[in-house]
Chain A
Amino acid sequence: ELKVEQNPLFLSMQEGKNYTIYCNYSTTSDRLYWYRQDPGKSLESLFVLLSNGAVKQEGRLMASLDTKARLSTLHITAAVHDLSATYFCAVLPNAGGTSYGKLTFGQGTILTVHP
């Protein structure tokens, strides 16, 4: 069974600081997704990482994927209050498997950015 683990689960940051959220997964996959969720809201797609070494950046967020280490990171640069949300990584098993698009999510990281 595919396991996806994020850490930390809770992250309290000061504005202006940098930090990284880690996502480890237990099976072969080169397709990993990061989502953002605001309280009571849906899942907003942030990044789609589709190969080893993939790096994507959007504003103050940068995501990377190391398929050999089965690790993805979400790096936050110079955090601002608007980034406060829950961040989920989700893994899709490799093509050729029997999984029909089933995403397995990490537990989520609750990020709070304060002044």
Chain B
Amino acid sequence: EPEVTQTPSHQVTQMGQEVILRCVPISNHLYFYWYRQILGQKVEFLVSFYNNEISEKSEIFDDQFSVERPDGSNFTLKIRSTKLEDSAMYFCASSKDRHTEAFFGQGTRLTVV
């Protein structure tokens, strides 16, 4: 069964460093998303991406964050100058269109020390 895959599963980084989280969405999906879940809290929307551009972003998704689809299969989230409060589980998701079910990857746990 097709699935969304994310790498790495766990990333530890020093405060101030840049990280790139990677995702391979399901191949025939056109909409891609990043969500974040701080430990013990609810899942929060960060950004949606369609047709090689950001279609919607939340207040959390400020200039520190960027997304890219560098080739036909990968979808990345870059976090510049990481802060302690960026520590969270980051989920990538994809859907066929914006009105249908999103499928989530297994997540990348980011720990900023």
- Answer whether A and B are interacting partners: yes
What residues on A are CB-neighbors of B102 within 8 Å? Answer: 33, 101, 103
The answer for the CA separation of A54 and B54 in the assembled complex, in Å, is 32
A-contact bits for B10-49, CB 8 A (1 contact / 0 none): 0000000000000000000001010100000111110010
The answer for the CA separation of A30 and B110 in the assembled complex, in Å, is 34
Name which of A19-27, A42-50, A62-70, A76-84 contacts chain B.
A42-50
Minimum CB–CB distance from B10 to chain A (whole Å) comes to 10
Interface size class of A (residues with CB under 8 A): 20 to 34
Q: Are A88 and B55 in contact (CB under 8 A)?
A: no
Interface size class of B (residues with CB under 8 A): 20 to 34
Partner of B50, one of A100, A104, A106, A107: A100
Q: Are A100 and B104 in contact (CB under 8 A)?
A: no
What residues on B are CB-neighbors of A101 within 8 Å? Answer: 31, 33, 48, 55-56, 95, 97-99, 102
Q: Are B45 and A43 in contact (CB under 8 A)?
A: no
Q: Is the interface of B mostly helix, strand, loop or mixed?
A: strand
Closest to A95 in B: B99
The answer for the CA separation of A99 and B50 in the assembled complex, in Å, is 12
Most chain A CB inside 10 Å of its own CB: which residue of B42, B50, B97, B104:
B42
B residues lining the A interface (CB < 8 Å): 31, 33, 35, 41-45, 48, 50, 55-56, 58, 91, 95, 97-99, 101-107, 109
Contact sample, A vs B, 30 pairs, CB 8 Å cutoff: A31-B99, A33-B102, A41-B106, A41-B107, A42-B104, A42-B106, A43-B43, A43-B104, A45-B101, A45-B104, A92-B99, A95-B99, A98-B56, A100-B48, A100-B50, A100-B55, A100-B56, A101-B33, A101-B55, A101-B98, A101-B99, A102-B33, A102-B45, A102-B48, A103-B33, A104-B45, A105-B42, A105-B43, A107-B41, A107-B42
